[in-house]
Amino acid sequence: MNKKCKIGFIGCGKMASAIIKGTILSKFLPKENIKGSEVNCEIAELASQRLGIEVITDNRALVMESDIIFIATKPNYAASVLEEIKDELTPDKLLVSICAGVSTSKIEKIIGMQRVVRVMPNTPALVLEGMSGVCKGAYANEEDAEFVIELLSNIGKAVEVTETQMDIVTAISGSGPAFFYKVIEDMARAGEKLGLDYEKSLELATQTAIGSAKMVMQRGEVPVQTLIDNVATKGGCTFVGISVMNNEHSDKLFYDVIDQTTKKASELGK
């Protein structure tokens, strides 16, 4: 796969738009190499104006003109779209699915022995801070996965996992933003109850989350526990707060959250 390839997006919704914008802004590909399709003429025109690319209304034509095809429809439309385009999917083309809960094996049952890569992105991709899980289908190769990961680096970060791990990825990074929003909101509301203005409390909690996340990412080989210990000096106020979290078994709480979300993701994928 090379950077002169042509990419087509079937569906130009929020997530596809984030990938398209990130790809253009990073100059990973020129916008002339990116095209979209939407079945509705009015939606296609609006998407074209919004993204600055050509958006057509013929999925099959898009596939014929593209080297890499992103399936970015709602999951319940994926099967019908795959049936529609399968005859245009020649062996030299790579199919990338960002449809939640649709496994590569399900896709391969419809389109046959084709190269498929599945991606689980998340909504922070909309601000170019996304985290995506990537897995190969039975007929895709490592070069395919590496190219997709490089492409997704324009909207954040991406890691390769196995298909069986994708449900865990869904729980941690796919659903994870909502869990972090909940923590930030709960901290802000606690500050409000104790006497702070809500907006100030929210700003404090939000910026603290951003700074803490950056410190984790820049820690090198230092364990996260060391970062905790550096702040939670024994006998100090942070130590008391951490003790409350430990006494309330916050580790079990988050395990249960990720476990139950993973199980639900698995159910939806069946």
Looking at the predicted structure, is the pLDDT value of residue 157 above 70? yes
Q: Output the domain CATH number for residue 234.
A: 1.10.3730.10
Q: What is the arithmetic mean of pLDDT over 72-97?
A: 95
Q: Output the domain CATH number for residue 38.
A: 3.40.50.720
Look up tokens 């170019």; give the residue.
128
Give me the DSSP letters along 127-179. Answer: GT-EEEEEEE-TT--HHHHHHHHHHHGGGEEEEE--GGGHHHHIIIIISHHHH
Residue 227 covered by a domain: yes
Looking at the predicted structure, is the pLDDT value of residue 268 above 90? no
Domain boundary at 142, 163, 184, which? 163
State what percent of residues in the chain have pLDDT above 70. Answer: 99
Q: What is the arithmetic mean of pLDDT over 54-59?
A: 97
State what percent of residues in the chain have pLDDT above 90. Answer: 91
Domain boundary at 111, 133, 163, which? 163
Same domain, residue pair 209 and 93: no
Strands 130-136 and 34-37: unpaired
Query: How many structural domains are present in the chain?
Result: 2
Classify the C-alpha dihedral 45-48-54-58 as positive or negative.
Answer: negative
pLDDT for the residue numbered 4: 80
Asked whether the beta carbons of 162 and 139 are under 8 A apart, the reply is no
pLDDT for the residue numbered 101: 86
Asked whether the beta carbons of 101 and 118 are under 8 A apart, the reply is no
Looking at the predicted structure, is the pLDDT value of residue 2 above 80? no
Same domain, residue pair 190 and 122: no
Residue 171 covered by a domain: no
Main-chain phi, psi angles of 126, to 5 degrees: -65, -20
Residue 84 covered by a domain: yes
How many CA atoms, within 13 angstroms, populate the side-chain half-sphere of residue 131?
11
Q: What is the arithmetic mean of pLDDT over 94-100?
A: 95
Nearest to 262 by CA among 172, 182, 183, 179: 172
pLDDT in tens, 5-16: 999 999 999 999
Residue 156 covered by a domain: yes
pLDDT for the residue numbered 71: 98
pLDDT for the residue numbered 166: 95
Answer yes or no: pTM beyond 0.95: no
Same domain, residue pair 138 and 258: no
Same domain, residue pair 144 and 16: yes
The helix (H) or strand (E) run that includes residue 55 is strand 54-56
Q: What is the arithmetic mean of pLDDT over 56-61?
A: 97
Angstrom CA distances, 253 to 179, 192, 260, 269, stand at 12, 24, 11, 24
Torsion angle (degrees, nearest 10) of CA 155, 159, 162, 168: -80
Same domain, residue pair 153 and 210: no
List the domain range (segments joined by +) for residue 22: 7-163
Q: What is the arithmetic mean of pLDDT over 46-67?
A: 97
pLDDT for the residue numbered 169: 96
Q: What is the arithmetic mean of pLDDT over 116-144?
A: 95
Look up tokens 């070069």; give the residue.
143
Nearest to 57 by CA among 45, 73, 39: 39
Residue 91 covered by a domain: yes
Residue 170 covered by a domain: no
Domain boundary at 141, 163, 185, which? 163
Residue 169 covered by a domain: no
Same domain, residue pair 204 and 136: no
Residue 183 covered by a domain: yes
Same domain, residue pair 133 and 75: yes
Same domain, residue pair 138 and 221: no
- What is the average pLDDT value for the chain, to the nearest integer? 95
Nearest to 106 by CA among 67, 137, 84, 85: 137
Look up tokens 């896709």; give the residue.
107
pLDDT for the residue numbered 1: 63
Same domain, residue pair 28 and 150: yes
Q: Across the strands, what pairs with 117?
A: 96, 136
Same domain, residue pair 16 and 138: yes
Looking at the predicted structure, is the pLDDT value of residue 165 above 70? yes
Q: Across the strands, what pairs with 10?
A: 37, 71
Looking at the predicted structure, is the pLDDT value of residue 3 above 80? no
Q: What is the arithmetic mean of pLDDT over 201-212?
A: 98
pLDDT for the residue numbered 170: 93
Same domain, residue pair 120 and 43: yes
Asked whether the beta carbons of 107 and 81 are under 8 A apart, the reply is no
Main-chain phi, psi angles of 165, to 5 degrees: -90, -5
How many CA atoms, within 13 angstroms, populate the side-chain half-sphere of residue 51?
33
Same domain, residue pair 107 and 23: yes
Three-state SS for 70?
A: strand
